[in-house]
Chain A
Amino acid sequence: MRCWYFSEQSYYPAWDQIPGNPKIVPPANLVQPEVAHRLLQQYLRECQFADELGMDIMVNEHHGTYTCMAVSCMLTLSALAACTKKARLLALGIPIVNRMDPFRIAEEIAYVDNLCGGRLDVGLIKGTPFEMYISNQNPASSAARYWEVWDLVQAALTHQDGPFSWESENFNYRYVNVIPRCYQQPHPPMWLTTASTRTAPEAAKRDCVLAITALARVARESFPIYRKTYLEIHKRPAPLDRFAYLANVAVAADEATARERANKLLKFAETSERIEQRYLNPPGALMPADNVRFLRARSTVNHRERTRPDGTPMSNPPTAEDQRANDVLFWGTPDQVFEQIRSFYESVGGFGNLLVQMGGTMTHGELRDGITLFAKRVMPRLRELTGDKVAA
């Protein structure tokens, strides 16, 4: 199993100063530039540290929010390409529904793949609906645009014997010609994320990694669909490395300290959920059934589970225990964390990638300690767990 270190690169010092919504509308002047500089440098050092301990690295991007300062996966990965040595570098991902220029996306993928010597993995994702208010891309046509960008980016990376043109309703290019071409041929491993089961068959057809972010139920439902479709299309079992799960992880030498860290990590989700409801659901982004529910309730809710798997209502905000029960947050001593991951791993039929989210309001020291404990005392056992298994 590959374990990918991930942090949201948030500007957490302002979380308590923002009275409500930390996304889209808060003033930028709550950022102290010298603090932002220090934090961003620190986040890079934490990635370097994870690299030194044998972990891979995942980055993401968001826009107009105090919960994530990274505005471009590829900008962060350019820096990491230069300051890491062995880690594979995963962009998860590039929100292609919100980006206006797929050719530029392909160019940046190829550039970073060369810069890091073929260590790049790339997720082409839909992105968070609220960010359509920032990109201004049309939510009602986003689904159709999503797969077109996939096709265009893959074509741009694969087609290497001179330019081709692309003329569609959404995108028009006279000459698509990506130079340099990718280091990994024809292109890096491709990933996508989903919060529903609908995308799993298409992901299987495209032979890309299906990543589920902190929604255990969706993983339990989607992974079998992917496996079934994969076998039908490719006539072989889906390799384990086609499955990924993102979980929050808080690990410490003792349980009490781990709980403190878990609570600091949960601050991220709590802050993120302070977004105003009116930005959660741009028209056309979600399915009709979701909108029917929202109309009736006169309320918009996100995908987060409201109950534990046994139906017990969770606290609001959820506690560390709630999120451990939901396999959203693995926390405790290294032994406890391993057991929680192992149990979840078996419940979903296995996966080859664990995306390990740390951060929240944890200090640099706490993160270094957490990364060390995970890399040295959890990760080796997870690798043993998957062993030589390549297919589920």
Chain B
Amino acid sequence: MSAVIKAAGTAASRPLRHVRMSGVDLEVWSQGSGRDLLILHAGDGPAHDAPYLDALSKRYRVIMPSHPGFGGSSLPEFMNSVDDLAYFYLDFIESQGLRDYVLAGFSFGAWIACEIAIRSKAGLAGLILVDALGAKFEGPRKREILDLFSYPQYEQARLIYHEAERQEPDYRGWDDDALTRLARNHASFALFAWSPTLHCPKLKHRLHRITVPTHILWGAEDRVVPPDYGRRFAAAIPDSTFKLIDGAGHYPQVERAAEFVREVEAFTASLPGAAQKTIAR
């Protein structure tokens, strides 16, 4: 495993390509066949070697871009807001010709996914939000989202994961390129989400515009955004369902990968056109 590949959490054989569009040299990981499943990664960057990706790519054409400023994607100077990312991804969706696709986002990626779905449901069959950030439901004195930026990057895992063995990653074996990429992810995360802290005050007033079927998954042990916060999201999105995943923190797709994959499969199977899509591929 080379340094750069390790930085992106990518096995050497995996299909990474670059797409030049809207001023960004975009790194895109894509694998499998079936219904298009566009995945938006969390604020710590893409992890291409995650077991859930392997499992999903047996049933779907999984597409996971590295957000501008993350992984191997460039960052144009003008981009500094989640709005910018949402509009960029609308360009991407259009340029890739995605139809009847399912959009899934984790944490920060779920926030971006909401911003996309609010703006356009063209081609969008369903939305999966996993431990989303981005909305503020309470008043100014109540912090609803843990301020990840008040902790060093090397302590993020302690806040994100429920399982103790995941909480202290050892970076000593990583080379400089790998760690530089990881550090850049964290800086870009802050660029987009530093203030207001990990949210947009407007989002809660716009969530009603998400009218596609939406499945909200939440780690029962999430300490970044606890389950009650997730239930507020579900209440604000009209056609949504909410499911807790036991034994998981902020990243249930990592800590309970099999259950996460089952939930994705059950949800997508319930969407109109699911059968035809699978056959067509």
Question: Which residues of A are at the interface with B, using a C-beta cutoff of 8 A?
Answer: 133, 136-141, 144, 169, 277-279, 281-284, 288-289, 291-292, 294-296, 298-300
Contact = CB atoms under 8 A, between A and B. Distances in A.
Given A291-B179, A292-B176, A292-B179, A300 B152 contact: yes
Contact of A283 (B80, B155, B180, B189): B189
Contact of B149 (A283, A289, A295): A283
A289 B150 CA distance: 20
A291 B183 contact: yes
Interface stretch (B47-55, B190-198, B232-240): B190-198
A348 B132 CA distance: 54
Q: Is chain A's interface secondary structure helix, strand, loop, or mixed overall?
A: helix
Contacts of A282: 149, 190, 194
A283 B187 contact: yes
Given A140-B194, A277-B152, A291-B183, 15 more contacts: A138-B190, A140-B187, A169-B78, A169-B80, A282-B149, A283-B187, A283-B189, A288-B180, A288-B183, A291-B153, A291-B186, A294-B154, A295-B183, A296-B179, A298-B168
B61 interface: no
Secondary structure call for the B interface: helix
A147 to B, nearest CB: 13
B7 to A, nearest CB: 11
Contacts of B179: 291-292, 295-296
B191 A138 contact: yes
18 contacts: A137-B195, A138-B80, A138-B194, A277-B152, A281-B152, A283-B153, A283-B189, A283-B194, A284-B188, A288-B184, A291-B180, A291-B186, A292-B176, A294-B154, A295-B174, A295-B183, A296-B171, A299-B154
Contact of B190 (A140, A278, A299): A140
B182 interface: yes
Contacts of B168: 298
B150 A140 contact: no
Interface residues on chain B, size class: 20 to 34
A139 B194 contact: yes
Interface of B: 77-78, 80, 149-155, 168, 171-172, 174, 176, 179-180, 182-184, 186-191, 194-195
B141 to A, nearest CB: 15
Contacts of B187: 140, 283-284, 291
B150 A294 contact: no
A292 B177 CA distance: 9
A285 to B, nearest CB: 9
A300 B153 CA distance: 10
A136 B191 contact: no
A141 B191 contact: yes
Contacts of B180: 288-289, 291-292
Contacts of B195: 136-138
A279 B188 contact: no
Contacts of B189: 283
A278 B172 contact: no
A138 B80 CA distance: 10
Nearest to B180: A288
Contacts of B182: 295
B80 A141 contact: yes
Contacts of B183: 288, 291-292, 295
Most chain-A Cβ atoms within 10 A of its Cβ — which of B151, B179, B182, B184? B179
Nearest to B189: A283
Contacts of B154: 294-295, 298-299
Contact of A278 (B80, B152, B191, B194): B152
Contacts of A296: 171-172, 174, 179
A291 B176 CA distance: 10
Contacts of B152: 277-278, 281, 294, 300
A298 B171 contact: yes
